[in-house]
Amino acid sequence: MISPTRLERMRQSAYHPRRINRSLLEAVGRLRPRYKTALLTNAGSEFRSTFVASYGLSPHFDQIIISAEVGLAKPDPRIYHHTYKQIGIAPGGCLFIDDLLENVAWARAAGMQAVSSPGSEKQLN
């Protein structure tokens, strides 16, 4: 069993500012207001209060959709439908980027344009 102290250290390490790609985050932020942006994550219920706040993500996205909050997770097609409805864009007008090819495939199946990010998994599981 992991002690509460060790768990807290692990949590703090995971949210360290050097763990986020700042240049990518800034690029996403520059897309606004011309484009609507959304962050879709398979994260737990603490994501908004820890990760979003720690990294200052809110100004970069029109919507932050957290799987634990909506009760759906990628690659369930319903979470992609939920996302494009939340930002008010037709699925064909959305570009979904993910590092897991399975998620890219399901986003395409939901009608979105979708690409994998550099360094993505080579094969679907």
Q: What is the CATH number of the domain that holds 39?
A: 3.40.50.1000
Give CA–CA dist 122/100, Å, rounded.
Answer: 9
Query: Do the domain assignments include residue 6?
Result: no
Per residue in 23-79, pLDDT (tens digit) is 888 888 888 889 999 999 999 888 888 888 888 899 999 999 999 999 999 999 999
Residue 122 included in any domain: no
Cβ–Cβ under 8 Å, residues 36 and 88: yes
**Domain span including residue 69:** 21-116
Q: How many structural domains are present in the chain?
A: 1
What is the pTM (predicted TM-score) of this model? 0.78
For residue 124, tell me if it sits in a domain. no
Q: Residues 69-105: pLDDT tens digits? A: 999 999 999 999 999 999 999 999 999 999 899 999 9
The DSSP call for residue 23 is: H
